[in-house]
Structure 1
């Protein structure tokens, strides 16, 4: 790999990292290409050269956020499928734990989606169809398969409840309350899924 290509890739990654932070904090509509360029220590032309338009940059940021979330959810679902036959209440609580941990470790992901829920970047409506809806459907389908008493509607509402609650908490940045929120989330997901048994 040439030194020029390495430098170009480093610049692109720097731009993407800065843009991710700015889109998460201020939204797509509240962030300009000039702001991104300034925060990355580059000029606007250099940003355009490496990533294209602001819209191109936003799409790449959302794609990467989705890929990270998808990987975390897939791993959590695999563990859920292994545990649920013997102890569905524990499996559900641990699934919630893993999703909370992901959101705490990568707070830009819930921040980006919460910005969208507040009507940010309305011109990118296809992102929900491409990313959010298929992921939600995957989780819903796995929950119903593992918990025969669970209806499809109830499973979907449970998934949304975990998303809304976890994303809202992670945006609050009340880190001292993480243990208390975790206990609440575990109980909440068990209740929403109609599972008996205490939080473990």
Structure 2
């Protein structure tokens, strides 16, 4: 309960914009109880990130389970599965892109642990699959799949947090099924072509 409340506030206001008092009030607790259970705001923030990381890792492991890119076509299938997994995961867990966007905008700048502790293991997990594909020659020698995965993450986070300018001149986001479908299709095409994958985009 406390972690859910803290995650909601940190994702909405950022670490720097959220106080321990706000979290305690939203959770219906006294600040003393909050301190006794979690320590200070820093410890609570790291607990929120740890909880989010474990949930995302479990989901990613399930998505990649059994996928061995032994052919170029299987590599394409794995990479497209990663695209859909990240979009779908963030739709269900909107605090994930929100927390990351705050971090990228220099929120909690005095904390250096999150990227090393939580982002690197996730990218390493993906890299175990895509690096093998690169070594097998399923993508061109000038293709950096890790940067393509970062581009995927930046694109999804930006879309979910800010939306896109539609053809009619208005902004749309994930709440609009047509816009979401358009975004997903174009992201698949972008990743497919950037990686030089075989066959048509998924």
TM-score (norm 2): 0.84
Deviations 1:126-172 (A, max 9, x none): 21111112321331231121342245960111110111011111223
> Would you say the 8 A contact 1:83–1:91 is kept in 2?
no
Partner of 1:11: none
Q: Which residue of 2 aligns with 1:183?
A: 185
Match of 1:6 in 2: none
Change (3 A) 1:43 1:83: farther
Task: Identify unmatched segments of 5+ residues in structure 2.
Answer: 164-172
Superposition deviation, residue 89 in structure 1: 2.5
Equivalent residue number for residue 44 of structure 1:
31
- Counterpart of 1:75 (choices 62, 69, 72) is 62
Indicate whether 1:122 and 2:109 are aligned.
yes
Residue in structure 2 matching 1:167, options 134, 151, 157: 157
Equivalent residues of 2:69, 2:129 under 8 A apart = no
Alpha-carbon offset, residue 68 of structure 1: 1.3
Name the CA shift for 1:17/1:188 in 2 (closer, same or farther; >3 Å): same
Do 1:93 and 1:187's aligned partners in 2 also have CA atoms closer than 8 Å? no
Tell me the TM-score normalised to structure 1 length. 0.85
Determine the structure 2 residue equivalent to 1:98: 85
- Count residues with an aligned counterpart: 187
Q: Deviations over 1:49-88 (max 9, x none)?
A: 2221111100100101111111122222225436866443
Report deviation, 1:34: 0.7
Q: 1:136 aligns with which of 114, 123, 127?
A: 123
In structure 2, C-alpha distance between the alignment counterparts of 1:76 and 1:95, rounded to whole Å:
8
Task: Compare the two structures and name the one with the higher helix fraction.
Answer: 1
The alpha carbon displacement at 1:42 in A equals 1.5
Gaps of 5+ in 1: 1-13
* Structure 2 CA distance for partners of 1:133 and 1:152, relative to 1, 3 Å: farther
Cα pair distance change 1:124/1:64, threshold 3 Å:
same
